[in-house]
């Protein structure tokens, strides 16, 4: 669950809120009267969300990814090491 803080509380406790976000990986929602709420979240989490949104933008790609996720959850396929995939695709040095 995201932490919520007013602008004044966030300003007074910024390091504490930063540490909470960093440790929990959950965003903090910062609210300021008369302004749009903002979120503080780890940059790598934002990057991951943006990448996921990009991959799911194509309906065909989204269907492929969701089907692969469903197969994985049903454990229909075994895990493959990244190095094995790289070699199998001829991408190794």
pLDDT tens for each residue of the chain, 93 residues long: 788 999 999 999 999 999 999 999 999 999 999 999 999 999 999 999 999 999 999 999 999 999 988 988 888 777 788 898 888 888 876
pLDDT for res 49: 94
pLDDT for res 85: 86
Supply the angle between the helices 59-73 and 43-56 in degrees, to the nearest 10: 110
pTM of the model: 0.65
Domains in the chain: boundaries: 3-42, 58-88
Residue 45's φ and ψ, nearest 5 degrees, are -65, -45
pLDDT for res 92: 78
- At the topology level of CATH, where does 3-42 sit? YefM-like fold (3.40.1620)
């Amino acid at each position: 669950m995201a932490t919520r803080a007013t602008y004044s509380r966030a300003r007074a406790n910024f390091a504490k809120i930063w540490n909470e976000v960093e440790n929990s990986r959950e965003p903090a929602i910062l609210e300021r009267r008369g302004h749009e709420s903002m979120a503080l979240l780890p940059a790598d989490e934002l990057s991951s969300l943006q990448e996921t949104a990009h991959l799911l933008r194509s309906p065909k790609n989204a269907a492929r990814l969701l089907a692969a996720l469903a197969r994985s959850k049903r454990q229909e396929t075994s895990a493959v090491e990244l190095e094995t995939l790289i070699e199998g695709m001829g991408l190794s040095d």
